[in-house]
Amino acid sequence: MKLTLVRLTAYGLDFIMLALVLVGLQLAAYHLTGGFPFDRLVKGYQIECWVLATMSFPVWLYFIVSEYFFGATLGKKLLRLSVTRRDGERISFIQAAGRTCLKLLPWELTHLIVLVPDPWWNVPEPPYPALVLIPNGMILLYIVFLLLNRGKRALHDIPAGTFVRHR
């Protein structure tokens, strides 16, 4: 249970840090440009492309680069965790990319569901609001799997062949 809480805390720290930086950059862009791009993006695919380029891609890059080159994100480093292969060695770029894609899949599905074809805030009633249960269910499944494995492996660690260890 302890490793599970430490892993979830590390992820929470990473999330908070990334949100502060990326939302800060979004607000700076908004104020420095007098509203761009938020005053021009109205179609769902436009907003989704902006989110992918300015939020999702930097987050993917952060996790992939941190875990491939340094063996841990800042949150994991603070809590003395590292991502390794079974033999304790550094993970490959493919492993880092694979685990990141699987870990962040629920967030990306949420963006697609809420933004495409039309952003939910631009329509009187979203076409399929129940679809948002899919990524939420995935997140719940990820947490339950992590709890059942006592924090040793999360669902995204299995196909990637990775382990998170406490140093």
CA triple 26-30-31, angle to 5 deg: 120
Q: What ranges do the domains of the chain cover?
A: 2-166
pLDDT digits (tens, 9 = 90+) for 128-153: 999 999 999 999 999 999 999 988 89
| 84 beta partners | 90, 163
pLDDT band at 1 (very low <50, low <70, confident <90, very high): low
pTM of the model: 0.92
Residue type, 45: Y
pLDDT digits (tens, 9 = 90+) for 101-116: 999 999 999 999 999 9
Can you state the angle between helices 133-148 and 2-33, rounded to 10 degrees?
140
